[in-house]
Amino acid sequence: MMEKKSKTSSAEGQALIKKLKRQIVSVAVSAGEGHIASAFSVLDMIFVLYDRVLCYDCANPCNENRDRFILSKGHASLALYAVLAEKGFFPYNELERFSKFDGILGGHPDCNKVPGIEASTGSLGHGMPMAVGMALGLRIRNTKRRIYVMVGDGECNEGSIWESALLAAHHRLENLTCIVDYNHSGDRALLLGDLAKKFAAFGWNASTVDGHDHEEFHRAVLQTTPDRPTVIVAETIKGAGCKLMENNPAWHHRIPDQEELQKILEELT
Amino acid sequence: MALDERVVVLLGDISVFGFRNAFQQYPKRIYNIGICEQAMTSLSAGLAREGLIPIIHSIAPFLVERAMEQLKIDLCYQRLKVNVVSVGGSYDYAALGSTHHCPADVALLRTLPGMDIVIPGTPEEFDRLFRVAYANKRPTYFRLSERRNPLGYEVKFGCAEVIRRGNLATIIAVGSTLAAVMEAVSGLDVTVLYYTTVAPFDGDTLAENCQSDKIVLVEPYYSGVLNADILSALRHSKVLIKNIGVPHRFLTNYGRAEQHDEVIGLTPQNIRMLVKEVIHA
């Protein structure tokens, strides 16, 4: 069955986010692998999408009439895996096999292995143009569903992101929503400034929101415009909810030791 | 496009005039994407993911070398069927210089698991091979050339054609090199195999037609790409292989393609000399 908007209340949502974050940290620690801080940056938004916005059928993940979500910044995979497990795409014990030799859940998601994964991403700048192709494909086939794609601000250094931005606007892909996880981790390399203005200049329907505020993000996702693709520039904190990691580049791809793990789990309770 | 409504054509801002009728007839299924090969390639993967059969088209260096990682991940790793159709491989556009040459395409694509490579020698052969392969499940590279053989064959996808049989050596001609090879072997007692599909490589036909264990491999791109496939097909024998193809250096001259043929030895005279060397080795 296609389900839509099994909307969780705000308080329940916050509690669930904490639970998912605890899962993510535990899974990463036991695997000795994972981009925890990036996962925490995007988790609120991915949760809201799967909880309130997307149409999908976890029993039949390829249902033609689903909305599609692509995590172009594939290294935040743990957040997506945790949400997909929570929503029933695969059993929780798959999560415990994260990055194991014969597991289906790798450091970057694989669409030929994982139910609910729409594109194999990892190398940055691929998921976004694929999403443009899928949006165009839906239009050619007259399928009235939506494509959502999430990119990072670091990823926005890639030329293919801006090629995609030009193409989506030119072809008036109103069925495409891009979410930029603007956690400013790319600032140390390239300052991107006002990303919403940049996308608006390319012809997109653009807004800026707090990517950790479920209500504000949800409202923004619903604000689409005819004839234009939509971009939501989401201000986020890398490592959100975990003081040790917040905006600390050292934690981009670091696994906590036992002492740190205890601290983190306490903070997330 | 008329026969299969899943087909969608994406042009990298070339051949647009040539497709003018298609733009009129199928406005929803042909796009001039512009000069952005990376996005065009990933975009085609997105179309394939939605059940369409994309054809992407540009000049070989931009289609293959510019968008190599997109071909690797978005097409091959994800196993999405896209038809990648290039023109101007090697030095077809000789006068435009090395930026527009692409003798490396076949060597590069040979490294991508799952990519089929088709090199027709005439437009009719392309038509025949494309109709067979365009809707199969594997990403496929069609290497089109401005240069063609005078004679076409009823080639089959994935199969080498035995053009003639002899005893003293086996000559492998790939794509548009067949014309020069046929001229070169006139009067010599040799086998000629004609390859229009190089990946997957038809090792069986070679194994059945190489009793001499002496081979001259004539390739229109960087020389020697098929050596490993040949050795693998004939792994139980000691084989002698001589290569003629594009040498591994930038061709910094301009002029016409035929002038480059002369300089690098892709000529009937030179091929004949090598064949004789191999026969007497």
Instruction: Quote the mean pLDDT of chain B.
Output: 97
- Asked if B52 lies within 8 A of A112 by C-beta distance, the reply is no
Residue with structure tokens 């395409």? B105
Instruction: State the Cα–Cα distance between residues A17 and A153, nearest whole angstrom.
Output: 23
- Asked if B43 lies within 8 A of A118 by C-beta distance, the reply is no
Å from B103 to nearest chain A CA?
Answer: 25
- Average the pLDDT over A158-169 and give the result: 98
Chain A residues with a Cβ under 8 Å from any Cβ in chain B: 111-112, 118-120, 122-123, 125-126, 128-138, 140-141, 143, 159-160, 163-164, 166-167, 171
Instruction: State the Cα–Cα distance between residues B28 and B32, nearest whole angstrom.
Output: 11
Exposed e or buried b per residue across A171-210, where buried means at least 16 C-beta atoms within 10 angstroms of its C-beta = bebbbbbbbbbbbbbbeeeeebeebbebbbebbbbbbbbe
Instruction: State the Cα–Cα distance between residues B37 and B24, nearest whole angstrom.
Output: 24
Å from B231 to nearest chain A CA?
Answer: 33
Instruction: State the Cα–Cα distance between residues B98 and B37, nearest whole angstrom.
Output: 19
Residue A5 pLDDT exceeds 60 = no
In angstroms, how far is the first alpha carbon of chain B from the final one? Answer: 52
Which of A111, A131, A143 lies at the smallest CB-CB distance from B78?
A111
Chain B residues lying within 8 Å of A129, measured CB to CB: 38-43, 46, 70
Chain A residues lying within 8 Å of B71, measured CB to CB: none
> What pLDDT digit, counting tens, does each position of A15-68 carry?
999 999 999 999 999 999 999 999 999 999 999 999 999 999 999 999 999 999
pTM for the model: 0.96
Asked if residues A153 and A186 have their Cβ atoms less than 8 Å apart, the reply is yes
Residue with structure tokens 């260096």? B61
Per-residue pLDDT band at A10 (split at 50, 70, 90): confident
Asked if residues B160 and B195 have their Cβ atoms less than 8 Å apart, the reply is yes
Domains and CATH numbers, chain B: 7-144 (3.40.50.970), 161-280 (3.40.50.920)
- Average the pLDDT over A120-135 and give the result: 98
Å from A38 to nearest chain B CA?
Answer: 22
State the pLDDT at residue A3: 56
> What pLDDT digit, counting tens, does each position of A185-196 carry?
999 999 999 999
Instruction: State the Cα–Cα distance between residues B160 and A90, nearest whole angstrom.
Output: 46
> What pLDDT digit, counting tens, does each position of A229-250 carry?
999 999 999 999 999 999 898 9
Which residue in chain A is spatially nearest to B30 when comparing CA positions?
Answer: A140
Residues in a beta bridge with B215: B170, B241
CATH fold of A11-267, please? Rossmann fold (3.40.50)
A·B CB contacts under 8 A: 98
Instruction: State the Cα–Cα distance between residues A207 and A197, nearest whole angstrom.
Output: 9
Chain A residues lying within 8 Å of B137, measured CB to CB: none
Give the tokens for residue B209. 């037609």
Three-class SS state of B133: helix
Give the tokens for residue B49. 């993911």
Most B CBs within 10 A among A64, A130, A145, hence the mutation to make, goes to A130
Sheet bearing B116-118, strands edge to edge: B30-32, B7-11, B53-59, B83-87, B140-144, B116-118, B197-199
- Asked if B50 lies within 8 A of A138 by C-beta distance, the reply is yes
- Asked if A130 lies within 8 A of B46 by C-beta distance, the reply is yes
Three-class SS state of B140: strand
Å from B134 to nearest chain A CA?
Answer: 18
Chain B residues with a Cβ under 8 Å from any Cβ in chain A: 8, 28-29, 31, 33-34, 36, 38-52, 54, 69-70, 73-74, 77-79
Instruction: State the Cα–Cα distance between residues A258 and A130, nearest whole angstrom.
Output: 40
Which of B38, B40, B46 lies at the smallest CB-CB distance from A134?
B46
- Average the pLDDT over A261-268 and give the result: 94
Which of A111, A120, A133 lies at the smallest CB-CB distance from B47?
A133
Å from B64 to nearest chain A CA?
Answer: 16
Residue with structure tokens 């005819």? A226
CA B161 distance to own-chain centroid: 15
- Asked if B45 lies within 8 A of A166 by C-beta distance, the reply is no
CA distances (Å), A55 to each of A64, A84, A128, B202, in order?
A: 11, 13, 20, 47
> What pLDDT digit, counting tens, does each position of A76-125 carry?
999 999 999 999 999 999 999 999 999 999 999 999 999 999 999 999 99
- Asked if B31 lies within 8 A of A171 by C-beta distance, the reply is yes
Residue A1 pLDDT exceeds 60 = no
Per-residue pLDDT band at A6 (split at 50, 70, 90): low
Å from B43 to nearest chain A CA?
Answer: 4
Instruction: State the Cα–Cα distance between residues A65 and A2, nearest whole angstrom.
Output: 8
Instruction: State the Cα–Cα distance between residues A243 and A251, nearest whole angstrom.
Output: 11
Residue A9 pLDDT exceeds 90 = no
Instruction: State the Cα–Cα distance between residues A106 and A121, nearest whole angstrom.
Output: 11
State the pLDDT at residue A152: 98
- Asked if B79 lies within 8 A of A112 by C-beta distance, the reply is yes
For residue B253, give the nearest of B106, B95, B124, B112 by alpha carbon: B95
What's the Rg (C-alpha) of chain A?
17
Give the tokens for residue A108. 């970057």
Which run of H or of E encompasses B262? helix B257-264
Residue A7 pLDDT exceeds 80 = no
Residues in a beta bridge with B11: B32, B57
The per-residue DSSP string of B54-113 comes to EEEEEEHIIIIIITHHHIIIIIIITT---EEEEE--BTTTGGG-GGG-BTTHHHHHHTST
DSSP state of B176: G
State the pLDDT at residue B1: 82
Domain extents for chain A? 11-267
Instruction: Give the relative orientation of helices A10-31 and A36-48 as an angle to the nearest 10 degrees.
Output: 150
Asked if residues B121 and B176 have their Cβ atoms less than 8 Å apart, the reply is yes
Asked if residues A66 and A134 have their Cβ atoms less than 8 Å apart, the reply is no
Which of B8, B38, B79 lies at the smallest CB-CB distance from A159?
B38
State the pLDDT at residue A8: 80
Q: Mean pLDDT of residues grouped by 10 in chain B (281 residues)?
A: 94 95 96 98 98 98 98 98 96 95 98 98 98 97 95 97 98 98 98 98 98 97 98 94 97 96 97 98 90
Which run of H or of E encompasses B32? strand B30-32
Chain A residues lying within 8 Å of B42, measured CB to CB: 126, 128-130, 132-133, 160, 164
Which of A112, A132, A166 lies at the smallest CB-CB distance from B46?
A132
DSSP state of B231: H
State the pLDDT at residue B78: 98
Instruction: Quote the mean pLDDT of chain A.
Output: 95
Q: What is the 3-state secondary structure (H, E, C) of chain A?
A: CCEECCCCCHHHHHHHHHHHHHHHHHHHHHHCCCCHHHHHHHHHHHHHHHHHHCEECCCCCCCCCCCEEEECCHHHHHHHHHHHHHCCCCCHHHHHCCCCCCCCCCCCCCCCCCCCCCCCCCCCCCHHHHHHHHHHHHHHCCCCCCEEEEEECCHHHCHHHHHHHHHHHHCCCCCEEEEEEECCCCCCCCCCCCHHHHHHHCCCEEEEEECCCHHHHHHHHHCCECCECEEEEEECCCCCCCCCCCCCHHHCCCCCCHHHHHHHHHHCC
ipTM summary value: 0.95
Chain A residues lying within 8 Å of B51, measured CB to CB: 137, 141
Three-class SS state of B219: strand
Asked if residues A63 and A8 have their Cβ atoms less than 8 Å apart, the reply is no
